[in-house]
Structure 1
Amino acid sequence: MSSNKEMYLAFRGQIFEALDPEAVQKMSRKELESQIQSAVDLLATGYQRPITSMMKTGLVKSLIDELFGLGPLQPLVEDQSITDIMVNGPNNIFYERHGKVHKSDLTFVNEEQLLAIAKRIASRVGRRVDELSPTVDARLEDGSRVNIVIPPIALDGTSVSIRKFREQNIGFEDLIEFGSMSMDMARVLMIASRCRMNVLISGGTGSGKTTLLNALSQYIAEDERIVTIEDAAELRLQQPNLVRLETRTSSIEQTGEVTQRDLVINALRMRPDRIILGECRGAEAFEMLQAMNTGHDGSMSTLHANTPRDAIARVESMVMMANLNQPLEAIRRTIVSAVQLVVQVNRLRDGSRKITSISEIVGLEGDSVVMEEIYRFRYDDSEYGEAVKGEYVTNGIMQRSELVKKAQFFGLYKDLMASFTGR
């Protein structure tokens, strides 16, 4: 392995030194590939040990990947079964496939190569990463999200995290097939989306919150005006009357920053029927709750929390970040009147992603927010194996439920009740 790395370094240094950057910019990929192939063939004749044609082909591909793509990461980017790529320095590359994390045999030749590729990723999307600005959060051309942290902040070498963009839309049918929810749960969520319920999707990193939000959005009527707000655009809504907004970090002069809170405030002036916030993580939570309370029914957002009750506590904390000096009781009353459904998604120990709870907020009792769990995933503790086993259970739904009232208003009451009677 070390001899292959030495060979790659030797060829790479000579070929890259001979390349004219301006000429490379004007060349097509095919032309450059032909030139590099000729250079590799020429250098191979004078190399200290024999080089097979397969090794030459691999060398050419690696050099092209470094010039046009993401270097050693390119094979992982092209693999459709891989969802996340994590780089912890030049010698430690990990990837996630089917919910499980694996260590890759691929490595960068050195920290300089990794840092150069990280800087190129940032520059392609109009961002910069250097000692003055050592972190960057951006979106690649294909929609994948990327986060970069470089030394001295990253102690063991440059860190790159890529959340890959899925080409295909995952709908409720796919989630049922994956075992992420039951058919009855899908019907309840579909009706909640159609009936303009305000929904929070709660879960951990990589649990499938955005995937579920995308699936829910497929049941929004085409005559509704929707405004989406995200840090890095991941949502793929198909409705015709759609405005997509994305935040912007500050420039080198520390000016021009546009936060999610700014965009939510601006969205209220755009006559939206629904506002969809990709992820709620700060002071924008207050404006989001106000929007839900003032005629923008059917608004949705995701947030990081481990349980539905933790999600409510997290919203309380985020509203406090807005520095409005509101008493906690007033904040809780706002949450209760704004949010109607909390959907909890979790990634389990076997890598599977499941909706573990669908809860409705029914009111305030003293200082506590009262929640009614409509569906939950009940673990089977009797059989502890590699795969997590269990079943989706329900205690039914109350007739005073807001979901029942809205289903009656939208003419979907019979469909909703069928989810609990099994018919």
Structure 2
Amino acid sequence: MRVVEEKKISSKIEETPKSKINIASIIKKNGIKENSEAIEGNLDFLTKLLEEDSGNYEPPIEDAKLNMIRDDLTRNYSQEVLQALTDDEIRRKLVQVVLKEHGTFFKKDKEVAEYVVRECIGTGIIERIMTNDEITDVGWNGSQLSIETNSNKWLFDGDKLNITQEYIERVISKYAVVNDRAFNSGNPIMDGMFKNVRISATHIDNSPDGSTFSMRVARPRLALNKENFEDFAPDYILELFEKMMKTKANICISGETGTGKTELQKLLLSFIDNHDRMIMIEDVQETHAKELFPDKDIFSWITTPKKAISDLVKASLRNNPRWIIVSETRGSEAYEMLQAVLSGHYVVTTLHAVNARAIPRRFVNMCASGFKINENAVEEDINRYFDFGVHIKKTVVDGKVIRYLNEIVEFSANEPTTVFKQKFINGKFVIENGSLSEDFKEKMAEKFITFEFPEDQTNTEESLPEEKEVI
């Protein structure tokens, strides 16, 4: 390995114009518990959100009238209220119903009618938060509401935002209904998807401080792309990834929660040949692969209570796939995936592991969780037939979350080799390049593909641009 570059993080990663409203005073009123400095001057919508739900904002209709309309809609239009959660046309019809039957309460103002319908059939403040394209995650820990973007996190006191346990239960119940799931003492864990939001909720019976939930927004876009890749890793690594996929490499992506594993996985999918059939297997439809890549031959499958990932991996082999893409490997499906690789199919998946070198052992443990195996033989197969492990990390600088490629390791029957390493040391990214094995270079050559790392470079310090887009 050789050190080829040092890239320095500037003291301010991103700076945006300050809002005209004094956000700091609103923060103090509403009890933000962390990253309060990072919030100032960022995301004007958050200021408005705080005002609307903290008493600084007067809603367009009184609570008593809103509750009366809600009761009326629930009583007389119960099916429409349920359907409107997923059908925008029915939602628009309910707006007309509210205007016609209750418009005298608010002078038949259409915007007020839309507000009423949103509050009655939607999920209130949560839905309003989700309409902002910057938001990636929303969570409730029983007393505090967390809001995350790609580069920031804020934690709000629920009492100051008038969030009650009843409201939280109503939000979760709406997601449970549209996913045809129960959420109660007998079914205290609920995982589901509504539109582009994935939710995992835990009932109050298992959470003494109140029911909790975590929501992840999955938008049909490439958050990591060719334009911003250099903020994640050097540009020549993008070229390497593309050539790995063209060579049909089996790749496992590891990292802790929130590092961007799925985003890298989607970028890798973009390099798959359009005529190569891929079967995308997910718990919920998070990648939006068919929408992102309409010209590719993609079968998009999701799990159900009766059909787990392992069942779908086995079924995929009967559908003539070239690629089997599992959004996340967590258990015994690892064994079925290994069998797919051994039968000549190609795999890209994500998993949790401490680093790239730990991936083979992690895979063995998952295989052993459902099958009686010879662990040494399985580990040897993984090292021999899986090509690369990729590990992603994240760090926080001045309140900003920076996600970066930490390492690429090439597996082999002998000893894994570090192909690329990027470390964050004393405010700098130190980059080291290795080399590809002769075996993989031969695979590339069979497809008329070549790749060489850049020649040694003099160590340099490069400040990141202030307007840097953080992945």
TM-score, normalised via structure 2 length = 0.74
Shift of the 270–167 alpha-carbon distance from structure 1 to 2, 3 Å rule, reads closer
Report the counterpart of residue 45 of structure 1 in structure 2: none
The residue identity in structure 1 corresponding to 2:184 is: D
Q: Distance in 2 between matches of 1:195 and 1:276?
A: 16
Helix, strand or coil at the partner of 2:242: helix
What displacement does 1:3 show?
10
Q: Which amino acid aligns with 1:30?
A: V
Greater Cα offset, 58-67 or 130-139: 58-67
Q: Which residue of 2 aligns with 1:377?
A: 422
1:300 has 2:348 as partner: yes
Per the alignment, residue 208 of structure 1 pairs with 260
- Count residues with an aligned counterpart: 383
Cross-structure match for 2:336: 287
Q: Give the aligned partner of residue 49 of structure 2.
A: none
Per the alignment, in what secondary structure is the counterpart of residue 318 of structure 2? coil
Q: How far is 1:215 from its partner? A: 0.3
SS of the residue 1:14 aligns to: helix
Alpha-carbon separation, structure 2, partners of 1:410 and 1:164: 38
Do structure 1's residue 410 and structure 2's residue 444 form an aligned pair? Answer: no
Amino acid at match of 1:307: N
Cα gap change, 1:211 to 1:20, in 2 (>3 Å): closer
The alpha-carbon deviation at position 64 of structure 1 amounts to 2.8
State which of 316, 336, 357 in structure 1 corresponds to 2:407.
357
AA of the residue aligned to 1:246: I
**More RCO (CA 8 Å, sep 6+):** 2
Residues 266-287 of structure 1: per-residue CA shift (max 9 Å, x gap): 1111111111111000000011
What is the RMSD of the two structures over their aligned residues, measured on CA atoms?
2.8
Decide whether the 8 Å contact of 2:410 with 2:418 is kept in 1. yes
Cα drift, residue 290 of structure 1: 1.2
Q: Distance in 1 between matches of 2:103 and 2:71?
A: 15
Paired letter, 1:392: I
Unpaired runs of at least 5, structure 2: 1-53, 81-89, 458-471
> 1:308-333 CA deviation, whole Å, 9 max, x = no partner?
12222211110111222x22211211
1:404/1:133 CA distance change after superposition, 3 Å? same
Tell me if structure 1 keeps the 8 A contact 2:259–2:392: yes
What whole-Å deviation, never above 9, does each CA across 1:54-95 have from its counterpart, x for those lacking one?
xx9998665432323221112210011111111123x42111
Distance 1:108 1:279, change over 3 A: farther
Kept in 2, the 8 Å contact 1:192–1:403? The answer is no
Percent pairwise identity:
20
Q: Are 2:357 and 2:409, in contact at CA under 8 Å, matched by a contact in 1?
A: no
Matching of residue 330 in structure 1 with residue 377 in structure 2: yes
Q: What residue is the counterpart of 1:262 in the other structure? A: 311
1:334: Cα distance to partner? 1.7
Instruction: Say if 2:321 is the partner of 1:321.
Output: no
For 1:136 and 1:118, locate their aligned partners in 2 and report how far apart those are by CA, in whole Å.
8
**Cα gap change, 1:408 to 1:77, in 2 (>3 Å):** same
SS at match of 1:280: coil
Contact 1:172 1:186 in 2 (8 A): no
1:396 touches 1:420 (CA, 8 Å); kept in 2?
A: no
The code of the aligned residue for 2:424 comes to Y
Q: C-alpha separation between the residues in 1 aligned to 2:266 and 2:123?
A: 28
TM-score normalized by structure 1?
A: 0.82
* 2:175 maps to 1:121: yes
Q: Distance in 2 between matches of 1:137 and 1:411?
A: 45
Question: Aligned equivalents of 1:170 and 1:209: distance in 2?
Answer: 11
- Letter of the 1:409 counterpart: E
Q: Does the 8 Å CA contact 2:103/2:113 hold for their aligned counterparts? A: no
Q: What SS class does the counterpart of residue 160 from structure 1 fall into?
A: strand
Counterpart for residue 183 of structure 1: 235
Shift of 1:29: 4.1
Mark the runs of 5 or more structure 1 residues left unpaired by the alignment.
43-55, 250-256, 365-369, 384-388
In 1, the alpha carbon distance for the partners of 2:232 and 2:197 equals 23
Is the Cα contact below 8 Å between 1:15 and 1:39 reproduced in 2?
no
Q: Deviations over 1:3-55 (max 9, x none)?
A: 9899965444333234453336277143145358736449xxxxxxxxxxxxx
Q: How does 1:234-273 map to 2 (within 5 A)?
A: 234-235=286-287, 236-237=289-290, 238=293, 239-249=295-305, 257-273=306-322
Q: CA deviation at 1:147?
A: 1.0
- DSSP 3-state at the match of 1:83: strand
Residues 36, 60 of structure 1: 8 Å contact kept: no
Q: Which residue of 2 aligns with 1:135?
A: 189
Partner of 1:30: 95
CA deviation vs aligned residue, 1:89-112 (integer Å, no higher than 9, x gap) = 3x4211112332202477354212
Is the contact between residue 8 and residue 59 of structure 1 (CA under 8 Å) also seen in structure 2?
A: no
| Structure 2: distance between partners of 1:174 and 1:130 | 46
Equivalent AA in structure 2 for residue 248 of structure 1: T
CA contact (8 A) 2:310 2:332 kept: yes
Letter in 2 for 1:322: G
Q: 1-side partners of 2:430 and 2:97: how far apart?
A: 56
Taking the aligned partners of 1:36 and 1:111, their CA distance within structure 2 comes to 30
Letter in 1 for 2:356: P
The answer for the alignment partner of 1:144 in structure 2 is 197
Distance in 2 separating the partners of 1:8 and 1:109:
17
How far did 1:371 drift?
1.2
